[in-house]
Amino acid sequence: MKRTKLIFVGGFLGAGKTTLLWKAAQQAMKQGLRVGLITNDQAPELVDSVLLSKEGLKVAEVSGSCFCCNFNGFTDAAQKIRADASADVIIAEPVGSCTDLSATILQPLKKIWNRDYDVAPLTVLADPERLTDILKGGRAELHPDAAYIYRKQLEESDIILITKIDSYPSEQIDKLKQDVAKAFPFATILTASALSGEGMENWFKETFNRSDSGKRIATVDYDTYANGEAVLGWLNGTVQLNGLKVDWNSLMDDYLHNLSKHFDSNNYSVGHVKIIAESDKQYIVGNLTGKASTLTLRGAIEPCDAIRLTINARVETSPETLDKIVNETLNNSVKNRCDTKTVAWKYLTPGRPNPTHRFTEIV
């Protein structure tokens, strides 16, 4: 079997990785390539996996730990999707709070799996608002240790892809690109909007045609790294909502806005909150990546009697507090409109990163 191109798309929570994965898959399919995707999280019930599967893509999921701490689980998933989809290219999305990918994933792949995979340069996504503040020495409204992870992701990148450029003036993006190039001269700096498609073809060509992956290994303080993840409460859950001809569009809008109000009023920094509501072939996707101004909803569901709602939340508070807010806000939002039944629910604090491999030299 020929070697499969393996593309990692990293970046902090809320940078737009999932939307970019879908657009990248479209770019690959336009070229006649067969595509597989691998998602990753500390717990099951992933919005990303549900959404990408609904788009007709072959998706594998590594849940329960990050790629680096379950390297064999990642390679098992890659081998399965490589065989099942006869994949020419696999695009993998690591956990948004992970760093040290060059040492723990790229170098081992180049050493151990070089006969099967051609590893592309590591792309790290960065949204303009957070990136601008980080470059100024700020912490982008994150806990200092979470901001440390953000910086380390940039430091180990081969390609820094500035995302969401459709929401900012071109002059601002041009200036930001220059500033990033000065701060990280070793990286290729590109820009793109996954929503509009601008810059996507250029990024995919750059990534697919290069094999100079993992050119740097960052120096990472694992105590700071571990705390940067642990300051976030993590919650993944799925519930069934049942009513009579419910206006789900209005309900989901109310739910996300009410969640945002809770987080903002308590000054809880949001890594991301994602939801997907499904009914047959229709669905609604919601995202919150910071303050209320970052809230987006797309898609629609015609009034019907039942939906399945999957929720992923990463917020700087205790998991117990996050669980209480998410549950109480949901119950208040659905009151007198429908009933809820829990299908799966888990909230947690991530454990200390303990990678399967950690190379200290470039392969």
**For residue 300, how many other CB atoms are within 10 A of its CB?**
12
Is the domain of 265 the same as that of 188? no
Residue 156 covered by a domain: yes
- The 8-class DSSP code of residue 279 comes to E
Q: Which two tokens stand for residue 85?
A: 């989809």
Structural domain ending residue among the three candidates 179, 208, 228:
228
CATH number at 149 reads: 3.40.50.300
Q: Which two tokens stand for residue 93?
A: 């999305």
Residue 363 covered by a domain: no
Q: For residue 44, what pLDDT is reported?
A: 66
Is the domain of 145 the same as that of 36? yes
- The answer to whether 269 and 143 are in contact (CB under 8 A) is yes
Contacts (Cβ under 8 Å, ≥6 apart) of 278: 50, 54, 307, 308, 309, 310
Is the domain of 224 the same as that of 236? no
Residue 357 covered by a domain: no
- The answer to whether 188 and 159 are in contact (CB under 8 A) is yes
Q: Which two tokens stand for residue 335?
A: 């009151």
> Full-prediction pTM beyond 0.85?
yes
Bridge partners (DSSP) listed for residue 276 = 285, 310
Whole-angstrom distance, CA of residue 6 vs CA of residue 4: 6
Which element (helix H / strand E) includes 84? Answer: helix 71-84
Contacts (Cβ under 8 Å, ≥6 apart) of 362: 107, 214, 215, 216, 217
Residue 283: which region, alpha, beta or left (left: phi > 0; alpha: psi -120 to 50)? beta
Is the domain of 96 the same as that of 181? yes
Residue 359 covered by a domain: no
Contacts (Cβ under 8 Å, ≥6 apart) of 81: 36, 37, 38, 58, 59, 60, 87, 90
Residue 358 covered by a domain: no
Whole-angstrom distance, CA of residue 206 vs CA of residue 184: 18
Compute the radius of gyration of the chain from its Cα atoms.
Answer: 20
What proportions of the chain, in percent to the nearest 5, are helix, strand and coil? 40, 25, 35
For residue 1, with 0-12 CB atoms within 10 Å meaning exposed, 13-18 middle and 19 or more buried, which class applies? exposed
Residue 286 covered by a domain: yes
Is the domain of 17 the same as that of 130? yes
Residue 356 covered by a domain: no
Is the domain of 197 the same as that of 140? yes
Structural domain ending residue among the three candidates 203, 228, 253:
228
Q: For residue 39, what pLDDT is reported?
A: 86
Is the domain of 309 the same as that of 237? yes
Q: For residue 41, what pLDDT is reported?
A: 73
Nearest to 65 by CA among 93, 32, 43: 43
Is the domain of 70 the same as that of 171? yes
For residue 113, with 0-12 CB atoms within 10 Å meaning exposed, 13-18 middle and 19 or more buried, which class applies? middle
| Domain ranges, residue 138 | 4-228
Is the domain of 216 the same as that of 76? yes
- Residues lower than pLDDT 70 in the chain: 1, 42-44
Is the domain of 219 the same as that of 318? no
Structural domain ending residue among the three candidates 200, 228, 256:
228
Domain count along the chain: 2
Is the domain of 71 the same as that of 209? yes
- The answer to whether 204 and 315 are in contact (CB under 8 A) is no
Residue 65 covered by a domain: yes
Is the domain of 285 the same as that of 217? no
CATH number at 325 reads: 3.30.70.360
